[in-house]
Amino acid sequence: SRSLNLAVIPGDGIGQEVVAQGLKVLNAVLPQDVKLQTKEYDLGAQRWHRTGDTLPDAELDSLKQHDAILLGAIGDPSVPSGVLERGLLLKLRFAFDHFINLRPSKLFPNTATPLAGRPDIDFVVVREGTEGPYTGNGGSIRTGTEHEVATEVSLNTAYGVERVVRDAYERANARPRKKLTLVHKNNVLVYAGHMWKNIFDKVGQEYPEVTTDYLHVDAATIFFVTQPERFDVIVTDNLFGDILTDLAAAVTGGIGLAASGNINPTGAFPSMFEPVHGSAPDIAGQGKADPTATVLSVALLLRHLGFDAEAGRIEEAVSADLAERDGGTVRTTDEIGDALAVRVAG
């Protein structure tokens, strides 16, 4: 019999609530013969307040033993900005070499978009996850004085860029439209930008069927709101990917629906799946959070582990659930989870 050994990090704010629904739907969709084991990890703001720990080595080692990680949300205003992001979330992404940060964006029927005309949006952003300005490489001198100088270094390697670009070509090649857009800012960030563009062009020679395009990040944001249907697969660096995927979430019905996977495709480390949204402390514990983004992240998790049919069933359930939302009736976090669990089981 098969098994799925899952690490669960509920985290802060609405993390606990949405993760509970993700697990509910996972339980409902998994075939009978799959033995699901979960282990919860107490990491996040409360743990940090209690012990000062963000992610001790023992827990990092233990997390490594799992097939995958499901994460709710990390962050709380009571913790100084950066402590949990760098010490926990980014530490996991870097320690487990999650070089693919996969973020699909689809405008489901019947969901609200701020865009007039409801364009046909269905693209996926392949965001680099282990380099760029996210490496923590930087510092400051004369900190806090009028002579302070602070730097942030964006680190980019041919090794790191090539593997994410190749993954993006593979994904584009497997989709009907076979279109890949590189987003960078190579007219200003000429060193990193030219390396990205050169590698993008070089790897592209191996994928003659994929149509390619290049956009500066500033221009890309324009097309996200005026012509989002032009995108199929987008590959971009860590910081630009962060910005673009929040914007993508906003135009496709909001951050409550945006799923993501922090993926190491080699299988050397467990991949981690999380909604794009944050911990939303203002609505935590009130049953107001939409668990759909977490449930869709569970679908990405299942697909990553080879449960393609089950992933598809979750996505169809979400699509059907959204199609029946009427905007008037407000359901609780739990009710949405129940509805999705019923759909995937049925």
Ligand X SMILES: CC(C)[C@H](C(=O)O)[C@@H](O)C(=O)O
Q: Which residues of the shown chain bind its own copies in the complex (CB under 8 A)?
A: 75, 81-82, 85-86, 90, 113-117, 133-134, 136, 138-140, 142-159, 162, 185-195, 197-198, 217-219, 221-222, 224-226, 239, 242-243, 245-247, 249-251, 254-255
d(CA 97, CA 264) in angstroms, rounded, equals: 6
Q: Which is nearer to ligand X, 236 or 321 (CB)?
A: 236
Question: What is the distance between the alpha carbons of residues 89 and 191, in angstroms, rounded to a whole number?
Answer: 28
User: Would you say 16 and 289 are in contact if contact means Cβ atoms under 8 Å apart?
Assistant: no
Catalytic positions are: 134, 185, 218, 242, 246
Smallest distance, Å, CB 289 to its own copies?
A: 16
CA atoms of 241 and 68, how far apart (whole Å): 23
Query: Crossing angle, helix 15-29 and helix 308-324, to 10 degrees?
Result: 120
- Secondary structure of residue 214 in the 3-state scheme: strand
Instruction: Please tell me whether residue 242 binds ligand X under the rule CB under 6 A.
Output: yes
Is residue 233 within the footprint of ligand X (CB under 6 A)? no
Contact 94, 130 (CB under 8 A): yes
176 has binding-site annotation: no
> Residue with CB nearest ligand X?
85
Choose the binding region for ligand X from 22-30, 35-43, 82-90, 308-316 (rule: CB under 6 A): 82-90
Please name the helix (run of DSSP H) or strand (run of DSSP E) that holds residue 35, with its range, or none: strand 34-40
**Nearer to its own copies by C-beta: 50 or 147?**
147
φ, ψ for residue 40, nearest 5 deg: -90, 140
Q: Rounded to an integer, what distance in angstroms lies between the CA atom of residue 216 and that of residue 201?
A: 16
Q: Tell whether residue 218 is a contact of ligand X (CB under 6 A).
A: yes
Which positions make up the binding site for Mg(2+)?
218, 242, 246
Provide the binding-site residues for ligand X, judged by CB under 6 A: 85, 89-90, 187-188, 218, 242, 276
Which positions make up the binding site for substrate?
93, 103, 127, 218
